[in-house]
Structure 1
């Protein structure tokens, strides 16, 4: 096991009611935050985190970001009744069954669902049909072309996830971001990945958005115990998504099949053989991606294979996006952003901004 993983290695499975804690204090944990807690104590702290954000900022709306993943499901179940509506970013690249799961859960719980869509489609990004809208290359050069590898993840994240969330924020607060703010409730946890361990915070204010992560301190043992406590385990024919009773914790069947939500399949950090795995369970989704591969190849685009590092790309140490828990950067490789600067695709100031974002 690498030293990185040893730093945050978790204890083994815990008996119900026993306290658990990460083996090392996360760099951004507040004083007293890194402490052993039982599940009930972790739950109490989660409510305290949201209460603190509501008391600190002029909040005009609280929104649960539902990805369809397991951690996201735990968060929504725990915070049910404490958010105003559900947000789901339908990137257009994911498995439709996950989006349907989000719709079904929102309907079952009587929640208002805002399904957000990117302005520029994944297909148009891959085929190079999205032109720069600002700077010296506005209307001239594509912001991206080909299937992304690690370097292209930042571009995909910005267009497919970040832009829809920023558009929704503007629809709520307009130009009153100094006096009005909204909360985005996310399921980020220190125990998820090395990047989350280093960078996640319980409350992170960014302009008019206050990112709140009520589960940030939960360990994997806490998550397992919560699922055991609230999910239906009766030996009977379960209702869809295991919503067998009103207070049941839902289950996205996609996560049982491919061990991730599948809500975004941009492919930037795909594992070898991942598309075949997706195709085994969800052949229509895989067929859609393979059809796009054919279109990219016909158009003469070198990066015409989903999930494969583009032939001109040497890699990236850039971090994954704020909402991409399973995307892991590949260390020790050069950044294509330097090539964009050298070729004039971006200005030196834009290059500096990218570099600051990745640091």
Structure 2
């Protein structure tokens, strides 16, 4: 099967198991020029990155960050024998099936799960019930009001994701003193998006928190081969989450349905029609958003529609470190067509025909 890609930074070639692949250009934050690696070599490189960090810093705990998405499941599967625990941020905005998937998988692996929750709910942020505690607006104005749109993404990321992770860092460090560190393993990759190509790096130290992206050099071809190697494809009745063998790579049904983890649906960068897609598979989740829309509209909030740019809003408020597809670009039908092609639902020639029509 051809693995021709429309992404700018991935190799355009026919890939077969055991072949080497690499990111075609040097990412700005890469320490050296990427070299072509087979999957086994890429796996060895991932372990070497973590080994280097653990040798260089006194580490209290190594925690795998598990959103439930395709990349996070690979990094946690790869390092499940090396982490002390797994962390999942239950933002309260997402699809409950994804959180249940994470719970079930970590239990099957025998790992401790830190299920984190934001201090303030998404509904409270949208309705303007979270009042600023610092700065010139302290005690006076809300930190945000209305559905976010691109300009509000930074607020949503900090409140819904980053704050719970920072709180966990503090809990893990406890009173252990200065100079101790917590390692978070994430599934960011240079080949995911242009933003990740520009900003992702193997190791990013933030005070006592060390963000490590051990599979940052994995290409899309590496990811396909890893899934083919470890995910059960036998013609039988699969166990829940495809955990048919001890080494099996789990499958989250949400990613199969929506092609995203669905753990955070703040709507800041939602594509047109996304809520309808969610409603098709998970109507109760979409209904929660629509009920909140009605509440916001009744309260006279101008930004009362999920997934729409608020009236007069700034163009872009930036994307969070862990938000895979929140880069300010609206993803189109081509992304779904690529998924269909890779899974064999359409042929290469059909893909080319559809994408030529889309570009016309």
Question: Structure 1-normalised TM-score?
Answer: 0.88
State the number of aligned residues: 325
Alpha-carbon separation, structure 2, partners of 1:304 and 1:22: 41
Match of 1:67 in 2: 67
CA displacement 1:1-33 (0-9 Å, x = unmatched): xxxx7641332441100000111111111125x
Q: Is the 8 A contact 1:150 1:330 kept in 2?
A: no
Alpha-carbon separation, structure 1, partners of 2:117 and 2:83: 21
Q: What RMSD, in angstroms, separates the aligned Cα atoms of the two structures?
A: 1.3
Match of 2:301 in 1: 301
Question: Structure 2-normalised TM-score?
Answer: 0.88
For structure 2, the residue ranges without an aligned partner over 5 or more in a row are 1-5, 331-360
Q: Is the 8 A contact 1:62 1:182 kept in 2?
A: yes
Q: 1:314-333 counterparts in 2 under 5 A?
A: 314-316=314-316, 318-330=317-329
The alpha carbon displacement at 1:319 in A equals 3.0
Match of 2:238 in 1: 238
Match of 1:152 in 2: 152
Q: 1:168-247 counterparts in 2 under 5 A?
A: 168-174=168-174, 178-247=178-247
- Runs of 4+ in structure 1 deviating by more than 6 angstroms, as ranges, are none
Match of 2:25 in 1: 24
CA displacement 1:20-67 (0-9 Å, x = unmatched): 0111111111125x0000000000000000000101111010000000
Alpha-carbon separation, structure 2, partners of 1:45 and 1:201: 14
The alpha carbon displacement at 1:257 in A equals 0.3
Match of 1:135 in 2: 135
The alpha carbon displacement at 1:177 in A equals 6.3
Instruction: Single out whichever of 8-17 and 88-97 deviates more from structure 2.
Output: 8-17
For structure 1, the residue ranges without an aligned partner over 5 or more in a row are 332-359
Match of 1:93 in 2: 93
Alpha-carbon separation, structure 2, partners of 1:104 and 1:12: 37
Q: Is the 8 A contact 2:147 2:305 kept in 1?
A: yes
Alpha-carbon separation, structure 2, partners of 1:197 and 1:292: 35
Alpha-carbon separation, structure 1, partners of 2:173 and 2:314: 41
The alpha carbon displacement at 1:178 in A equals 3.4
Alpha-carbon separation, structure 1, partners of 2:137 and 2:179: 35
The alpha carbon displacement at 1:175 in A equals 6.3
Match of 1:350 in 2: none
Q: Is the 8 A contact 2:150 2:314 kept in 1?
A: no
Instruction: Single out whichever of 174-183 and 305-314 deviates more from structure 2.
Output: 174-183
